[in-house]
Structure 1
Amino acid sequence: MLKYTFETNTQELKTWVDPNNGNLNIQIGDEVVNIPHETGMELIAVIRQKQVMFREVDRKRLSSWSKFMEMLSGDDKNNIWSSSLSDN
């Protein structure tokens, strides 16, 4: 059985799949919630979709930041807005 545990200073969250019926179980402290297989699969699909979206947003954010820093430093050769300082 796969069991995942996430701990903070004050609480512990555990998740596992019941091997007998495929239901997803979530435990926070002493309270356990049993989520039916179909709902659990939908929940996992939504979480995966959100993870993909988050990674894409993070990738774009890092790319934009890198391009901005290149523009400021004058290293961006394809940018017509880049400027340079010269002693004339």
Structure 2
Amino acid sequence: MKNFYLEKSLGIDIREKSVCLTLLGKTLYQVDVLASEHIVVQSIIKSDKKAESLFLEKVNRFIIEHDAWAENVIVSIPRSNITVQSFKLPSPDRKSV
């Protein structure tokens, strides 16, 4: 019996030398791993159009083969590549509210 999935989610885990694609399907009672693929990538410092197009081709093939047109996409980025900045906002005075 084929499961009916209420929702599909695509997870993209970006690492230094690879990207992992995982497709999850949610039923009424459980979440199943429908497909997973590990793609090795070259350094992101170099600008190589051929490697970039090959990577995009592999991602597109994964999406098409597994019907992964998910509405929910979760992206995981290495902490070393993220810059977080915080700032304080003044609270509004009573006249402006």
Tell me the TM-score normalized by structure 1: 0.30
Choose between structure 1 and 2: higher helix proportion: 1
Greater C-alpha radius of gyration: 1
| Structure with the higher strand share, 1 or 2 | 2
